[in-house]
Amino acid sequence: MSGFFDIPSDLQHSWLGLVGLHLREALLPVLAGLVVSLPLAQLCVRLRWLYPPVLWVTTVLYAIPSLAFFVLLIDYTGQTELTVMIPLTVYSLVVLVPAIVDGVRSVPPETLAAATAMGFGPVRRYFQVQLPIAVPAVIAGLRVATVSSISLVSVGALIGNQGALGNLINDANIYNRPELAVNAVLSMAVLAILADALLVAVRLLLTPWMPRAGRRRPAADVPDPATAALEDAVR
Amino acid sequence: MNLLHFINAFFGDGAHWHGYNGIPTRVGEHVGYTLQALAIAALIALPVGLVTGHYGRGGNVLAMIAVAGRALPTFGLLVLMTLLVGFGMVNVMTPLVVLAVPPILVTTYEAMRSVDPSPVDAARGMGMSEAGVLFQVELPAALPLILGGLRSGAIQIVSTATIAAYVSLGGLGRYIVDGLYQRDYEKVVGGATLVAGLALVTLAVFWALGRFAVSRGVRQRA
């Protein structure tokens, strides 16, 4: 009757249009989260006492179910994309802040001392020494945040067609066409895996000093502390 | 602040404290879903993570499984399972388990890998069996991190179990979904507050579990 990529007309988008919409709704929040969490993490590194309360606050915010968060925001921002993107930004903080803090803290004190001795001011030291060394941890955080953001956008379907590919799930339910749900789930999974692979590629580009060919071996011998710290984000 | 006003109105209404749609019943259901999903996820992820971490193999495969698990949209999986198997517990448990397996799996693996190798060598040198090394040396040392993974999984399940209400089951999501359709913000805010509170309780439970289960030597070193 209709092909796998034929989208019901009520969504007013082609499959590719939905994919584009989905990427925008999922990736902009992660970007905003990164912009917020970089200074926040730096504050937490500077003022040690600030870190635990920040973790607690982000964890509590993270625990608010996305659907409830969306519904609460409708009062302020209406049934718009913004209503979906604000919670996703907040959620990304719970992963990004600890990732950046752990990454920046993992810079050896000798390295920092060397930078200071070479006459680096605090700002230049941050951008040219601390941040580049923290890149693997930051990217690890971005990977988790991006992938979960892509999957969470779909809940936006419940507040009036703001879920991009998630709207297909809703339509699958309404029109009793399971293949639409299969399409949505598969498309989102593929998008998430592609985004994840892209971030790995970005990390390889940004950290040319890391061993590349033998990457597999050190990963197996020395556990990546960033990964463990990340999974432990909800402290 | 009208948010506080809503919270006050919700919890102040005596009707919300009794019957099948009362707060005690819904909290009980929510905790039930959470424990069930967490138990299934732990049953799948813990043994695999412990064994792969012990032998230090398959880390890349685990990472790939974790990414795939995270990539599957929870809500989509829920509706898809409902369309395929009909209403029931299976369709709610599947996405929740898929959600909780990656953090538990990856953390357990990394926790086992990050155990100091010298006591493990010493244990082997003393003639301990592989199972002995795993359960008496590595597991106690890795326990804080493993508990951390279980806690991440538990928090995610607590906050996501609300979707069960979308396919007509109970739990705290009832208040949120019903409130949404009834335009009853009081209910939505009340439900969200309860879920956030439950997440805090989960954090506290895992903190207590850490105090209770992790051996003193490991705790002081951490």
pLDDT tens per residue across span A145-164: 998 899 888 888 877 777 78
pLDDT at position B212 is 86
Q: What is the pLDDT confidence band of residue A140, given thresholds at 50, 70 and 90?
A: confident
ipTM of predicted assembly, 2 dp: 0.73
Select from 1.10.3720.10, 1.25.40.340, 1.10.290.10, 3.30.70.660 the CATH code of B24-214.
1.10.3720.10
Q: Would an 8 Å CB–CB cutoff place B166 in contact with chain A?
A: yes
Q: Closest CB to B79: pick one of A72, A159, A173.
A: A173
Q: Closest CB to B72: pick one of A178, A189, A220.
A: A189
pLDDT at position A37 is 93
Contacts of A143 in chain B (CB under 8 A): 67
Residue ranges covered by each domain of chain B: 24-214
Q: Would an 8 Å CB–CB cutoff place A42 in contact with chain B?
A: no
> Considering only CA atoms, which of B71, B139, B148 is closest in space to residue A227?
B148
Is A223's pLDDT higher than 80? no
**Which residue shows structure tokens 């997440």?**
B199
Chain A contacts in chain B segment 38-97 (CB below 8 A)? 56-57, 59-60, 63, 67-68, 70-77, 79-80, 82-84
Instruction: Provide the shortest C-alpha distance from residue A153 to chain B (in Å).
Output: 9
Chain B contacts in chain A segment 135-174 (CB below 8 A)? 143-144, 147-148, 150-152, 154-155, 157-159, 166, 169-170, 172-173
Mean pLDDT within B163-170: 82
Q: Closest CB to A151: pick one of B72, B83, B158.
A: B72
CB A19 within 8 A of CB A191: yes
CB B92 within 8 A of CB B171: no
Question: What tokens appear for B33 in the block?
Answer: 């879903």
pLDDT tens per residue across span B180-205: 888 888 888 888 888 888 988 988 89
Q: Would an 8 Å CB–CB cutoff place B155 in contact with chain A?
A: yes
Q: How far is CA B132 from CA B129, B135, B139, B140, B217, in A?
A: 5, 5, 10, 11, 19
Let me know if B38 is exposed, middle or buried by CB neighbors in 10 A (0-12, 13-18, 19+).
buried
A143–B67: do the CB atoms touch at under 8 Å?
Answer: yes
Instruction: Provide the shortest C-alpha distance from residue B39 to chain A (in Å).
Output: 18
Q: Would an 8 Å CB–CB cutoff place B209 in contact with chain A?
A: no
Q: Which residue of A has its CA nearest to B184?
A: A71
pLDDT tens per residue across span A11-54: 778 888 889 889 998 999 999 999 999 999 989 988 888 888 88
The torsion of the CA quartet B195, B40, B102, B60, rounded to 10 degrees, works out to 170
Mean pLDDT within A169-182: 83
Identify the structural domains of chain A with CATH numbers, from first to last. 15-209+224-231 (1.10.3720.10)
Give the C-alpha separation, A93 to A115, whole Å: 29
Is B30's pLDDT higher than 80? yes
| Range of weakest confidence among A200-214, B21-35, B125-139 | A200-214
